[in-house]
């Protein structure tokens, strides 16, 4: 160890340990880290922890200094051959990233997602009908999971009967970031796990599914993203099998897990912050800021990592070329210098400055942000229109992961006020 390293402030908790997130976001630990000067150093995995809003935005926007391509976007390092195997636009820097992203970006702009409103509303209504009919149940299985996967699968062109399979694969993919042991041969996998995204055999299942669907769409194109990706050319060349299957995997994962987490947490907030939703019920102009608050408060993605491409400095801390720099969105979203009284859930919170749940800006800003906002907005609207009230029946079961702030199960009861009462 050199002198530089000896002076590093060490985090009060191990941010790399999945158990740190077993009860949700470790707010106290993040507050301590934000209060410390400079960046703190995680000794277990060897990374700089970025926890303040301003620092995170700086890292996020400077893709030249903080690379997604050299190294890995998750905390643990992987071999170069494994990196190449799993590369999708999220693991690449401009200009390659930009070319890939532009293949699909137009499907996710606010103008385009407006057009999906009616279909999304039908999905939301169906899920709420079922949930109400049973007087409640597992909010995640009944509402939070099926809505986002249904929406992204519609966009991709995955037929309805396969949506449940996509949920299962996506869940097992995330299991690769928890301490759970994985069966390397699951889904007929024969690939060395270290070569697979999240080191998970479920990635093999997703790749196989993508290939099959891709073949169908190559033969008979439809108006969906898989058809578009199969036909797309980047720099005069078709996407390789590896590029296509990873693209599909990324879209299924990102379109599924993140919005699902936000919706799962929304269930908790509906039960615990009913007064806040009453405000939105009375004043619908608060819907937009309420959606942003759900996204901020839930911070579905806990972190993404970058790797420094050169010696640099951030918040007074010297960073060396090759150092891992980890952006803790779940910490920056509660930065008390940016969000007044950050731990209070406030549907009227000003939207500027932006929370960083969709990223701190720059090339990797969440592609699905507009889609997620519209899905959450419709779900909240429908709940308010139906005058639904929720109670949490059993404590939520969190996903033990250092990467996603997920809820596995949330048992809730639902009721409507007796007729004539308001």
Partner 1 sequence: MSLQQWTMTIDTDKCVGVGQCEMLEEEVFYLDDDTGIAIVVGSETLPADRADAVIDKCPSGAIGKTR
Contacting positions for partner 1 (CB under 8 A): 61, 94-95, 98, 101-106, 108-112, 352, 358-359, 361-363, 365, 367, 369-370
Q: Which residues are CB-neighbours of 400 under 8 A, at least 6 positions away?
A: 18, 19, 21, 22, 178, 179, 180
- Max Cα-Cα span within the chain: 73
Rounded to whole angstroms, the Cα distance separating 422 from 419 reads 8
Q: Considering the complex, what minimum distance in angstroms separates the CB of residue 364 from partner 1? A: 8
Angle between helical axes of 163-175 and 241-272 (0-180°, round to 10): 90
Q: Considering the complex, what minimum distance in angstroms separates the CB of residue 110 from partner 1? A: 4
Question: What are residue 49's DSSP bridge partners?
Answer: 40, 326
Q: Considering the complex, what minimum distance in angstroms separates the CB of residue 410 from partner 1? A: 30
C-alpha closest to that of 264 among 399, 144, 127: 144
C-alpha closest to that of 41 among 75, 72, 18, 66: 75
Closer residue to partner 1 in complex, CB, 97/324: 97
Q: Considering the complex, what minimum distance in angstroms separates the CB of residue 63 from partner 1? A: 10
Q: Considering the complex, what minimum distance in angstroms separates the CB of residue 223 from partner 1? A: 13
8 Å CB contact between 359 and 387? no
Closer residue to partner 1 in complex, CB, 80/233: 233
8 Å CB contact between 78 and 47? no
Rounded to whole angstroms, the Cα distance separating 233 from 248 reads 16
Helix-strand-coil split of the chain, %, nearest 5: 50, 10, 35
Q: Considering the complex, what minimum distance in angstroms separates the CB of residue 115 from partner 1? A: 12
* Tokens describing residue 57: 């935005």
Radius of gyration (Cα) for the chain, nearest Å?
21
Q: Which residues are CB-neighbours of 53 under 8 A, at least 6 positions away?
A: 332, 333, 335, 337, 338, 353, 356
Closer residue to partner 1 in complex, CB, 83/369: 369
Closer residue to partner 1 in complex, CB, 95/134: 95
Closer residue to partner 1 in complex, CB, 206/332: 332
Q: Considering the complex, what minimum distance in angstroms separates the CB of residue 169 from partner 1? A: 27
Closer residue to partner 1 in complex, CB, 18/94: 94
Closer residue to partner 1 in complex, CB, 111/419: 111
């Amino acid at each position: 160890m050199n002198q530089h390293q000896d002076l590093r402030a060490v985090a009060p908790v191990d941010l790399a340990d999945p158990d740190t997130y077993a009860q949700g976001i470790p707010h106290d630990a993040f507050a301590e880290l934000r209060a410390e000067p400079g960046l703190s150093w995680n000794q277990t995995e060897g990374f700089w922890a970025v926890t303040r809003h301003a620092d995170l935005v700086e890292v996020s926007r400077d893709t030249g200094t903080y690379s997604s391509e050299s190294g890995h976007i998750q905390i643990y390092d992987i071999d170069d051959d494994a990196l190449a195997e799993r590369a999708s636009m999220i693991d690449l820097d401009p200009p390659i990233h930009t070319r890939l992203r532009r293949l699909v970006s137009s499907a996710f702009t606010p103008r385009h997602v407006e057009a999906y409103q009616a279909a999304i509303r039908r999905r939301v209504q169906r899920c709420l009908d079922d949930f109400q009919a049973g007087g409640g149940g597992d909010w995640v299985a009944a509402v939070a999971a099926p809505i986002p996967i249904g929406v992204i699968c519609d966009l991709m062109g995955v037929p309805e009967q396969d949506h449940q399979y996509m949920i299962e694969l996506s869940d097992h993919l995330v299991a690769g970031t928890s301490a759970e042991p994985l069966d390397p041969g699951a889904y007929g996998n024969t690939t060395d796990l270290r070569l697979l995204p999240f080191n998970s055999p479920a990635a093999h299942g997703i790749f196989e599914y993508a290939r099959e669907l891709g073949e169908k769409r190559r033969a008979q194109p439809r108006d969906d993203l898989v058809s578009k990706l199969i036909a797309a050319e980047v720099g005069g060349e078709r996407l390789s099998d590896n590029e296509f299957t990873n693209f599909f995997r990324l879209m299924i994962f990102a379109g599924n897990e993140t919005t699902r987490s936000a919706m799962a947490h929304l269930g908790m907030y509906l039960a615990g912050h009913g007064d806040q939703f009453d405000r939105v019920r009375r004043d619908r102009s608060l819907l937009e800021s309420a959606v942003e608050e759900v996204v901020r408060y839930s911070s579905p993605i806990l972190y993404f990592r970058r790797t420094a491409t050169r010696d640099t400095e951030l918040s007074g801390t010297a960073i060396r070329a090759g150092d891992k720099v980890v952006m803790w969105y779940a910490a920056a979203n509660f930065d008390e210098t940016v969000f007044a009284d950050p731990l209070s859930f406030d549907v009227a919170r000003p939207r500027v400055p932006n929370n960083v749940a969709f990223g701190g800006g720059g090339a990797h800003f969440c592609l699905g942000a507009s889609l997620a906002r519209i899905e959450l907005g419709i779900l909240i609207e429908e709940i308010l229109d139906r005058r639904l009230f929720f109670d949490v029946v059993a404590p939520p079961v969190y996903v033990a992961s250092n990467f996603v702030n997920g809820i596995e199960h949330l048992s809730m009861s639902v009721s409507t006020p007796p007729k004539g009462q308001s």
